[in-house]
Amino acid sequence: MTLENDKLIIAGREFSSRLMVGTGKYASFQQMAQALEVSGAEIITVAVRRVNISDRSKESLLDYINPKRYTLLPNTAGCYTADDAVRTCRLAREAGLSDFVKLEVLGDEKTLFPDNEELLKAAKILVKEGFTVLPYTSDDVIMCRKLEDIGCAAVMPLGAPIGSGLGIRNPYNIRIILETVKVPVIVDAGVGSASDAAIAMELGCDGVLMNTAIAGAQDPIAMARAMKLAIIAGRLSYKAGRIPKKLYANASSPMEGLLA
């Protein structure tokens, strides 16, 4: 079995890589560009912020990103109300000329957990305005179903708090979400290591989005490669169909022909 024709399809667009990566927190733009390259990611997230008008000498992120190679997924990080998130998405569409947005509406600075009430409000408006909405949400089945019902192109439940590296804290919820919605399920946030990413993929998730796990690693380039391999390994493992778990042993070698 290969993954050659195993495409991730979001709103009719095909992607070969199931790993999506962020562009924040790198030591330099060069390091970020190299990590993106090595990760094999095709979708990368960016944030929308004011241009620094007093110091124009600074380099721009987009000098290091080939727009033909990557699909930019602007986020609404830092937005705490539906109004702010919608405003940010409209600006992102104008700046990037794409309808794809990673919608996040945060409820609390300490946990960065989503404010699902505001999230739903914002998602409704954005879907109506023609955006392709990929919402960052809690690992809540009912919420994911509601987001799908109003027309979101995917759902992106968190594995654990943003930047925490705690991994997939509630794999059972993720499984129920996978059984409940038809749109792609992408674990967004919480992944710390390659095994976390593989676990998400083995559960049957359609993809994983991460930033800190790569950018914050001691060697981000090596971690980008580890994540790429973990996503592929996890996907293959899921597709291959694992053995059932059993409590007792089951010998791998035949009993016949044993020495007397």
Positions touching another protein (CB under 8 A) are 22-26, 32, 45-51, 53-54, 56, 60-62, 72, 74-75, 77, 87, 90-96, 162-163, 189, 209-212
Residue 186 pairs in a beta bridge with 207
| Residue 102 annotated among the catalytic residues of the structure | yes
As measured in angstroms, the least distance from the Cβ of 32 to another protein is 7
Give the nearer residue to another protein in terms of CB position, either 153 or 189. Answer: 189
What are the structure tokens assigned to 144, written together? 């994911």
- Which residue type does 240 have? A
Tell me whether residue 112 or residue 153 sits nearer to another protein (CB atom): 112
Please give, one letter per residue, the 3-state secondary structure of 244-260: CCCCCCCCCCCCCCCCC
41 neighbors 34 (Cβ within 8 angstroms): no
**One of 7, 25, 68, 102 is an active-site residue; which one?**
102
Q: Are 168 and 197 in contact (CB under 8 A)?
A: no
Q: How far is the CB of 252 from another protein (least distance, A)?
A: 43
Q: How far is the CB of 96 from another protein (least distance, A)?
A: 7
Q: With 0-12 CB in 10 A as exposed, 13-18 as middle and 19+ as buried, what is 151? A: middle
**Coil, helix or strand at residue 73:** strand
Nearer CB in complex with another protein: 154/189: 189
Toward another protein, which CB reaches closer, 181 or 205? 205
**Contact at 8 Å (CB) between 100 and 126?**
no
Tell me the C-alpha to C-alpha distance, in Å, between residue 217 and each of 69, 90, 224, 231. 24, 33, 9, 17
Q: How far is the CB of 103 from another protein (least distance, A)?
A: 13
Nearer to another protein, 156 or 198 (CB): 156
10 Å Cβ neighbour count for 243? 7
- Minimum gap (Å) between residue 219 Cβ and another protein: 19
Which run of H or of E encompasses 187? Answer: strand 186-188
Q: What are phi and psi of 236, to 5 degrees?
A: -60, -40
Catalytic residues: 102
